[in-house]
Amino acid sequence: MATEPLLEVRNLKKYFTVATDFWGKPTSCLKAVDDVNFSIRAGETLGLVGESGCGKSTTGRTIIGLYQPTEGDVLYKGKSVAAGGKNQPLYRDIQMIFQDPYASLNPRMTVGDIVGEPLDIHKLAVGIERNTRIMELLSLVGLNKEHANRFPHEFSGGQRQRIGVARALAVNPSLIICDEPISALDVSIQAQVVNLLEKLQRELGLTYLFIAHDLAMVKHISTRVAVMYLGKIVELAQTQQLYGSPQHPYTQALLAAIPIPDPTVEAARKRVPLEGDVPNPIHPPSGCRFRTRCPHAMSVCAEEEPKLIDRDGHFVACHLKK
Ligand code: SF4
């Protein structure tokens, strides 16, 4: 595995204006992503987890250029991709699989045209070559050539997500941002889609940013995992390290909420309940943003924001871990 990062996210911020004054100057904003840093090496899967509204999907969408960053930069193979449409070839290398396989496919297009659309946009293939490539992509994701002439409504949720994967693969990307790719699917289908993503990673050498709130599935697929809370990364480590020895109270609470399929172990284990709701991101708590729900909060936690500190590759942002 290469040591140079394929993707680097540096001090990324994405704020959404929610109120302006008479002159249109922002007076209040929602800090969806607030100074986020991480990198992804070629061939690895970085899991990005957290509760709904923590900013993980906004991070993915800002990386791929669907949102213009408020501040910070995204580097792909050392080159900035955050400068809007100026870096089209780089954007071709980064593709996205969306959460909702129902909403992300055009219901008026056949599957063949949906999968072939990126080939047309990037002028990669025409005529017989285009058709051959579409058949190749459908077969790669476990669909067959008869499916090319059908419409999205004729497919199940799992099959629709396979169509979304085929479309993302059409331009031969290196990095795929999987934005909650399984959360809209039945539990029985989720494992099939994750297995497909793993198979494609092995066969095509893909790199994934896997965004999800299901920690069990993230553990299964990820090389490293980053935990986000209210726009910030609070912990980032190798998967075994993070699940085996979580350091941040938020990560500990998230992991404690995962049920263990052994009734004896489940009954005996000590739970650290996560109380309260995620605070309003327009007015986040001072200091540590987790302090209103943290069982270990101290006075310093309200005054000083904890920095994400590297301890031998295990990054934690908590005053307890100084
Ligand atoms: Fe809890 Fe303080 Fe650590 Fe935040 S910094 S997680 S409030 S102990």
Domain spanning 5-93+173-250 has what CATH number?
Answer: 3.40.50.300
Q: How far apart are CA 31 and CA 17, in angstroms?
A: 9
**Is residue 88 predicted with pLDDT exceeding 70?**
no
Q: How far apart are CA 154 and CA 137, in angstroms?
A: 19
172-212 tens-digit pLDDT: 999 999 999 888 788 888 889 999 999 999 999 999 999 99
| Average pLDDT value over all residues in the chain | 89
117-163 tens-digit pLDDT: 999 998 888 899 999 999 999 999 999 989 999 999 999 889 999 99
Task: Among 298, 300, 305, 308, say which to mutate for ligand 1: greatest number of ligand atoms within 8 Å of CB.
Answer: 298
57 CA from centroid of ligand 1 (Å): 24
Is the minimum distance from the CB of 115 to ligand 1 under 6 angstroms?
Answer: no
149 CA from centroid of ligand 1 (Å): 55
Domain ranges of the chain: 5-93+173-250
Is the minimum distance from the CB of 291 to ligand 1 under 6 angstroms?
Answer: yes
121 CA from centroid of ligand 1 (Å): 48
Chain centroid to CA 232: how far? 14
151 and 105 in contact (C-beta within 8 Å)? no
Residue whose Cα lies nearest atom 7 of ligand 1: it is: 291
Closest CA to 16 of 52, 64, 66: 66
Instruction: Give all strands (DSSP E) within 81-200, no chain letters.
Output: 94-97, 175-179
Confidence of residue 276 (pLDDT cuts 50, 70, 90): confident
